Amino acid sequence: MSRVVVSPAESFSLNISEIAPDKSISHRSVMFAMLSKGVSEIENFLRAEDTMNSLKIVKNLGANVEDDGKIIKISSNGIQEPFEILDCGNSGTGMRLFCGLLSSANGHFVLTGDKYLRRRPMKRVTEPLMSIGAKLDGRRNGDLAPLSIRGASLKAFEYESKIASAQVKSAMILAALRADGVCTYTEPELSRDHTERMLKGMGADIKVDGLTTTVTPLKELLEPLKIRVPADPSSAFFFAVAAAIVPGSEVTLECVTLNPTRIEAFKALERMGADISYELTDDRYEPVGNIHVKYAPLQGIVIEENISWLIDELPALSIAMATAEGESIVKNAKELRVKESDRISTVVEGLRACGIEVDEYEDGYRITGGALKKAEVESDGDHRIAMSFIIAGLKCGMKVSDLECINTSFPNFFELLSKISKAEFTE
Ligand SMILES: O=C(O)C1=C[C@@H](OP(=O)(O)O)[C@@H](O)[C@H](O)C1
Ligand SMILES: C=C(OP(=O)(O)O)C(=O)O
């Protein structure tokens, strides 16, 4: 299944309750279980490559994992030095958060990943961690994986980050839990806050005041985590765009996290004209609920603030922008260049292949909405690019190649797509 030809869709009306579970929360759930004194129970864990790699790493670090296929139970007697190299696969979240978790653990650890992850910058975590005493190294002076970590004693810190990154923030919060005094971390814009919510829910002393998070190191192990992972808004968003661009369509996306740091792309789609409503159904670690999206003609939009709140959805949003009336601009989104692919280049090249006028900037792009035409697009090994252009195919037909990457975050994507469109696979 390395290439797919997608046919244009007729109007559809769907309820989807099987959107892939949240990737950010799934990674964190298995890592944080290692900081607790009892048995953590994780229901609806994302069984995709990125998060299964994190689960495997947690096992290699000595956790006791029982999995009946529905609930994963994890208990730990503390992090053990592993016999294996720890392979994070394609996952930036996995690699960067493990750096924070392992920096203070007893032993030697080697983290690696696939060829895409091994080209992504790691200095953003290795540098601040090393500044508080962590012993890390990697290719290009600690910027590129494979990374090695020798656990060490960490000093208390007051760190001001220049980038709004939940991965960096989470790595530093995990380090702070084992530091020798109270720590503060300040970010330039609020990034997704699952780490703070989940660790607080487990009893950690974490206070958030605007952009500053204060962490008091653990005096004892945390309470076990008992969580049902909600659906991932970043995965749900592909089907939101599908409903927003196929005239006469509507979709209800069930049990999605409604965390405000995660649903900004839905808000942007709403500002473009789509008819969107939200219904809260649960609120434990996270607000969770249903999102209803109904087609309406779209207008262009400018996106320049709170970029980290919709960074992963920008490729899919750019498909909506390409079908909208008028111009859309994305600015301040340089981070897109260091994701699984350089998502500014892959979006720009893909849309140009579909006949859309696009200007590329260092930190974003300008899209002039128009008639998308069928083209052949390569994903460059990037799941979000592959799924975004498949969704564009619902409008005009599309051939997309290099599809295996979709398994990193959304293994049942094609099963759900088949409810809307005919997809034919070729080698
Ligand atoms: O913390 C997380 O779970 C994530 C944070 C974001 O990355 P950055 O921290 O690099 O912005 C996001 O792009 C990634 O998909 C998941
Ligand atoms: C950027 C992403 O993930 P990660 O950084 O964890 O590889 C993503 O899923 O779009």
Which one of 50, 87, 232, 312 is the catalytic residue?
A: 312
Ligand in closest contact with the CA of 238 = 2
Atom of ligand 1 nearest to the CA of 339: 13
Q: What is the ipTM of this complex?
A: 0.99
Q: Does 28 belong to an annotated binding site? A: yes
Cβ(92) to ligand 2 under 6 A?
yes
93 CB near ligand 2 (under 6 Å): yes
Higher pLDDT pick, 427 / 263: 263
Average pLDDT over residues 80-105: 98
Domain with residues 23-228, CATH architecture: Alpha-beta prism (3.65)
| E strands present in 84-236 | 86-87, 108-112, 135-138, 144-150, 158-160, 183-186, 206-209, 212-215, 226-228
409 lines ligand 2 (CB under 6 A): yes
Hunting for tokens 């002393």 — which residue is that? Answer: 205
Do the strands 226-228 and 40-43 form a parallel or antiparallel pair, or are they unpaired? parallel
- Which is higher by pLDDT, 114 or 285? 114
DSSP run (H or E) holding 282? strand 275-283
Distance 235 CA to ligand 2 centre (A): 12
- pLDDT-based confidence at 285, cuts 50/70/90? confident
Ligand 2 near 53 CB (within 6 A) = no
In this prediction, residue 408 has a pLDDT band, given cuts at 50, 70 and 90, of very high
Q: Give residue limits of the domains in the chain.
A: 3-21+230-426, 23-228
Pocket lining for ligand 1, CB < 6 angstroms: 24, 93, 165-167, 170, 191-192, 308, 311-312, 335
Cα of 165 from ligand 1 centre, angstroms: 6
**Taking the CB of residue 160, how many other CB atoms lie within 10 A of it?**
12
Active-site annotation holds for 380: no
Give residue-wise pLDDT tens across range 146-164.
999 999 999 999 999 999 9
Closest ligand by atom to 28 CA: 1
What mean pLDDT do residues 77-99 have?
A: 98
pLDDT digits (tens, 9 = 90+) for 12-27: 999 999 999 999 999 9
pLDDT of residue 245: 98
Identify the residue whose C-alpha is closest to ligand 2 atom 10. 312
**Whether residue 146 has a cis bond before it, omega within 30° of 0:** yes
| Ligand with smallest separation from the Cα of 95 | 2
Task: Give residue-wise pLDDT tens across range 318-368.
Answer: 999 999 999 999 999 999 999 999 999 999 999 999 999 999 999 999 999
Most ligand 1 atoms within 8 A of CB, residue of 311, 337, 383, 385 to mutate: 311
Question: Residue of the nearest CA to atom 8 in ligand 2?
Answer: 312
271 labeled binding residue: no
From the number of C-beta atoms within 10 Å of its C-beta (0-12, 13-18, 19+), residue 14 rates as: middle
Tokens 């006028």 -> residue: 357
pLDDT given for residue 284 in this prediction: 87
Pocket test for ligand 2, best of 194, 312, 380 (most atoms within 8 A of CB): 312
Mean pLDDT of 116-130: 98
Which is the closest atom of ligand 1 to the Cα of 23?
3
Look at residue 1 in the predicted model and tell me its pLDDT.
56
Maximum separation of any 2 CA atoms in the chain, in Å: 60
In this predicted structure, the answer to whether residue 307 has a pLDDT above a threshold of 70 is yes
Query: What is the mean pLDDT of the segment spanning 173-179?
Result: 98
| pLDDT (mean) for 29-43 | 97
369 is in an annotated binding site: no
Residue 57 has pLDDT above 80, yes or no: yes
Q: What dotted CATH number matches 3-21+230-426?
A: 3.65.10.10
Predicted TM-score (pTM) above 0.95: yes
Question: Which ligand minimizes its atom distance to the CA of 382?
Answer: 2
Domains 3-21+230-426 and 23-228 agree in fold: yes
Q: Which helix (H) or strand (E) holds 391?
A: helix 383-396
Q: Is the CB of 315 under 6 A from ligand 2?
A: no
Average pLDDT over residues 44-52: 98
Residue 185, CA distances (Å) to 195, 211, 303 in order: 13, 8, 26
The span from the CA of 204 to the CA of 227, in Å, is: 16
Task: For residue 92, say whether it is annotated as part of any ligand binding site.
Answer: yes
| Residue 23 CA to ligand 2 centre (angstroms) | 9
384 lines ligand 2 (CB under 6 A): yes
Share of the chain above pLDDT 90, in %: 98
pLDDT, mean over the chain? 97
CA of 379 to the centre of ligand 1 (A): 19
Residues 211-250 have pLDDT tens digits of 999 999 999 999 999 999 999 999 999 999 999 999 999 9
CA of 340 to the centre of ligand 2 (A): 7
- The whole-angstrom separation of Cα 245 and Cα 324 is 9
Mean pLDDT of 97-121: 98
Q: What is the pLDDT of residues 182-199, one digit of tens each?
A: 999 999 999 999 999 999
Q: What is the pLDDT confidence band of residue 427, given thresholds at 50, 70 and 90?
A: confident
